[in-house]
Amino acid sequence: MDSIDQIKQGPIDVAIIGATGLVGQTMLKVLEELDFPVRTLLPAGSERSVGKEVMFQGKPQRVMSVADALRSNPHVALFSAGGSVSLEWAPQFAEQGCTVVDNSSAFRMDASCPLVVPEVNGSDIKSHHRIIANPNCTTMQLVMALKPLHDAFSIERGIVSTYQSITGTGQAAMAQLEAERAGHKGEAVYPHPIDMNVIPHCDVFEENGYTREEMKVWNETKKILRDDAVQMSCTAVRVPVMGGHSESVYLEFARDFELDEVFQLLRDFDGVEVVDEPANNSYPMPLHAAGKNEVFVGRIRKDLGHPRGLHLWIVADNLRKGAATNTVQIARYLWNQGRWSGAS
């Protein structure tokens, strides 16, 4: 019989729920790039997607129904098909022993489900957890930079202004931008034109005047950093960019800091890359981050008026670390922890 270490390295059956969407397609790429130990891939989608094909490891894979994926009893199911699908199906997968990593907002603030960025709080996942939530894309890249700084200096409050790619809305938004740039009228997913425009409106407005996207940043940072005292107010803005979210971030710390410390902490944090050479016009941009899994941080500088204030510029590919990459990394973290030891 193989040793436990060898068994731990054995491949597992992986379902992708929402395999034909932008995030689902990116998950397939990331699974390949990270050499995830897939024994059997189970791509699933809506009824209109059943029978279509997706490519994985150079071979076409036929898309099945979610019900068929459930009957196949995978070890892990990576969900990216929207909150309603997750609410209906994720508990059913979990009930039969499958581990679900969900990319929707359905379970993020559920006290029984950990909200995880592996580099930040992977240890929040316990052996009994069967549904694990992926944070919102804007929160995800933000906490990658916040974590080492909060541990060192304790963040008291922050202000975030986002510049969010239309890919965060999906394929229909990309079609709207392309149609507008071509001078055609088509179906619009935004309340205003997006080409040659900036829309300070991501998701629906709440009664407090903030959008749901902005409230995700407020709530999710507290849960991920395990600190309700962290106050991150956000203004979320949609920009006519095809890939990559950018964030202008201002932080106020409880403790004094030196810029050299900040640079070193960020450079040392796994998954973060510092790009900050203003004299050479070197700073993070969506064009630079596209197709990459890292979170890029630059324009690092002290505030002019507050002695413990810091400014950052954070950029990441929202389909990668903001969604698909983090989902796969959670599954990889669990595999490394022996979640499926002895699986057959």
Helix and strand totals (H; E) in the chain: 11, 14
Q: How many CB atoms lie within 10 A of CB 188?
A: 15
Catalytic pick among 137, 150, 202, 288: 137
CB 327 within 8 A of CB 103: yes
Residue listed under structure tokens 């070890």: 75
At 224, list the tokens: 């991920």
Catalytic pick among 75, 129, 245, 288: 245
Q: How far apart are alpha carbons 33 and 330 in whole angstroms?
A: 15
DSSP state of 231: E
- 245 part of the active site: yes
At 41, list the tokens: 């891939």
- Angle ∠(153,157,161) on CA atoms, nearest 5: 115
Output the CA torsion 105→108→112→116 (10° steps). Answer: 130
β-strand pairing of 59-62 with 12-17: unpaired
SS3 111: coil
Q: What is the DSSP string of 143-192?
A: HHHHHHHHHHH-EEEEEEEEEE-GGGT-HHHHHHHHHHHTT-----SSSS
The DSSP element (H or E) to which 134 belongs, if any, is none
At 286, list the tokens: 């969506």
Q: Where in the sequence numbering do the catalytic residues fall?
A: 137, 245
